[in-house]
Amino acid sequence: MIRVYIDMVADPFDARHIELLRLALACGDELVVGIHSDDDCEWSWRRPSLGLDERARVVTACPHVDRVLAGAPAFITDAWLREQAVDLVVHSGALPERALRYWYRVPIELGMFRTLPCAASESSTDLEGRLCARDAPASRPDSPGAIARRRLRRWLPGVERMVQRHALADGLRRLADALRGTPLDGRYWVVGGLLLGWAREGRPLESDLQDADFAYLDEDHDRFLASVPALVKAGFEPKHRFSSAGGRYVEHRFGHEGVQFDFFRMTRVGDRWRYSMFESGNEPTELIAEVPAQAHVWFRFLGRDWRKVVDHDLAFRTIYGDWHTDRPGWSFTSDRAIVERIPMACLPYGWAWPHAVARGPGERDGDRGQSPGRG
């Protein structure tokens, strides 16, 4: 007996799904359909209009279906396939190759995956269609700070930079004050271009006035989440949060007066810290980087006390190489600490504060620990 498995969102469930399931059953003797949870759907695209139980009941009524698994995993693992005694995994051939390899890497590598010639809806068939590649939206162009900068750009040459510098400095002081006394107090530190500006010039770099980067350890992620309300209360708007290819939220972005403030989640791997950055566009990619793990010390900057790594020179050399030379056009995609680039089918970045789910599938049920590309 050949047990065939297919997964989907089924919101809504229509004639195209029925045809897809008919073709799936024709590939074997028994058809098992996995229905993704509400939280996993929200992580990848949007929260379904129909709840998991209702979607599962609708699919169960389909005559081609032998069994329904409610809350099916977002990523299929070798262990899960053995546990469910699945012989063949199928999916609509409407998905591009990049998406198929992202969601079904394991069954593809095991030689137990097949595509079906079905024109099912790409927006509702499963946890993918859900997922055509999307660019992360830009900051709101109608914010007071953005409007003021556009006007100043027209009226007074050079004043825009002064406004940006003031907005960044004001935002940094607000952030430090907001996090004082929170669970994250004393457990996050300054990284990236902001620290580079302090080390090289004693002030934020002129070429890097629109964002500030911070980091915290993976073990303090719950502390970070518990401290978000304090940032929101201080005027920092949750903008985006980016998920790793393995389904873990590893970067959170706030906006304040046209400046973005990013918090990177660092995972300890031996004597190094691993973090992720993301390229958006038609082919989103997770950039995994590693820097030496270090202790932290306090330093004074812009009228506030901050933390940084003890040997910032070592960190800078790992990331930038010759960090003493000004390179205004430098991009994070040139980070020398990048050790792997993982293609993604989509870039989950939604953050509908405060109602969005707090964890992606990779940390809710241990589907992946790191990312699809890491085995």
The three state secondary structure string of the chain is CCEEEEEECCCCCCHHHHHHHHHHHCCCCEEEEEEECHHHHHHHCCCCCCCHHHHHHHHHCCCCCCEEEEEECCCCCHHHHHHHCCCEEEEECCCCHHHHHHHCHHHHHCCCEEEECCCCCCCCCCCCECECCCCCCCCCCCCHHHHHHHHHHHHCCCHHHHHHHHHHHHHHHHHHHHHCCCCCCCCEEEEHHHHHHHHHHCCCCCCCCCEEEEEEEHHHHHHHHHHHHHHHHCCCEEEEEEECCCCCEEEEEEEECCEEEEEEEEEEECCEEEEEEEECCCCCEEEEEEEECCCEEEEEECCEEEEEECCHHHHHHHHCCCCCCCCCCCCHHHCCCEEEEEECCCCCCCCCCCCCCCCCHHHHCCCCCCCHHHC
CA–CA dist 37, 75 (Å, integer): 12
The one-letter code for the residue type at 299 is F
Rounded Cα distance, 328 and 325, in Å = 10
Q: What pLDDT sits at residue 45?
A: 81
Place of tokens 């405060």: 354
Q: Give the integer Cα–Cα distance in Å for 247 and 56.
A: 23
- pTM for this entry: 0.82
For residue 132, what are its two tokens? 């055509």
Domain coordinates of the chain in residue numbers?
3-116, 144-374
Q: Looking at residue 131, what is its pLDDT?
A: 42
b/e string for 173-187 if b means 16 or more Cβ within 10 A? ebbbebbeebebeeb
Q: Are the C-beta atoms of residues 32 and 4 closer than 8 Å to each other? A: yes
Give the residues of the chain that fall short of pLDDT 50.
120-126, 128-139, 367-375
181: left (phi over 0), alpha (psi -120 to 50) or beta: left
Dihedral-angle region of residue 321 (phi above 0 means left; psi in -120 to 50 means alpha; beta otherwise):
left
Q: What is the pLDDT of residue 128?
A: 43
Biggest alpha carbon–alpha carbon distance for the chain = 76
Q: Tell me the pLDDT tens digit for each residue of 28-39.
A: 999 999 999 999
User: Options 3.40.50.620, 1.10.3720.10, 3.10.310.30, 1.20.1600.10; which CATH number does 3-116 get?
Assistant: 3.40.50.620
Position 370 scores a pLDDT of 43
CA distance 232 to 295: 29
The pLDDT, as a whole number, for residue 158 is 59
Q: What are phi and psi of 27, to 5 degrees?
A: -85, -10
